[in-house]
């Protein structure tokens, strides 16, 4: 049971950080758009805010459901352990496959951002978009790599749990 709590509490903590990063990106974007009003910073703001909306949505939803997930999986373990094999383990296998997709998308965004940043020489909006993409996609990649590692540990726990039944 401790592994379940540990996994979902770590998910909740990372999601809270995700939300804070999203809020900071939105605040910086507003500052860039309202105060600086320069093409480079406006371009950067657009990519920062676009990914920040994703961070706020995903981070917020994971944060809000983490306590329910602890209760749900704990109840499975206590009352109907075979549900771990039927529901939770397959759910986590899908989550782990999705991390591979997310990683490739994030790498593609980083590369696109680098190409934009390096292609445009002056402080154009496109150069700003590129830098914003590199920053935000890089942060997303970092968060997802940490979450993926944690997911592997949790999935191994689920596999050991079901094998021990």
Question: Is the overall model pTM greater than 0.85, yes or no?
Answer: yes
Report how many helices (DSSP H) and strands (DSSP E) the chain contains, helices first: 5, 0
What does the pLDDT read at residue 55? 97
Residue whose C-alpha is closest to residue 96's, from 144, 64, 164, 161: 144
- Specify whether the CB–CB gap between 93 and 53 falls below 8 A: no
Are 105 and 77 spatial neighbours (Cβ–Cβ below 8 Å)? Answer: no
Q: Residues for the chain: how many in total?
A: 165
Residue 106 CB partners (closer than 8 Å, separation 6+):
137, 138, 140, 141, 144
At residue 163, the pLDDT reads: 84
CB atoms within 10 A of CB 69: 17
Which residues lie closer than 8 Å to 110 by C-beta, 6 or more apart? 133, 134, 137, 138, 141
CA 4 – CA 44 distance, rounded (Å) = 39
Mean pLDDT per block of 10 residues along the chain (165 residues) reads: 95 97 98 97 98 97 97 94 95 97 98 98 95 98 98 96 78
Number of domains in the chain: 1
pLDDT for the residue 165: 61
């Amino acid at each position: 049971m401790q592994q379940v709590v540990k996994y979902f509490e770590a998910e909740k903590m990372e999601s809270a950080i995700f939300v804070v990063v999203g809020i900071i990106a939105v605040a910086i974007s507003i500052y860039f758009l309202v105060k600086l009003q320069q093409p480079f910073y406006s371009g950067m703001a657009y990519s920062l805010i676009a990914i920040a909306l994703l961070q706020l949505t995903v981070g917020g939803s994971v944060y809000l459901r983490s306590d329910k997930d602890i209760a749900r999986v704990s109840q499975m373990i206590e009352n109907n352990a075979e549900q771990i094999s039927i529901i939770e383990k397959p759910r986590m296998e899908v989550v782990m496959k999705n991390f591979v997709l997310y990683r490739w998308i994030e790498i593609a965004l980083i590369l696109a951002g680098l190409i934009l940043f390096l292609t445009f020489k002056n402080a154009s909006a496109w150069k700003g978009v590129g830098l914003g993409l590199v920053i935000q996609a890089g942060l997303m990649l970092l968060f997802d790599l940490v979450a993926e590692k944690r997911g592997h540990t949790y999935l191994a726990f689920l596999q050991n749990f079901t094998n021990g039944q």
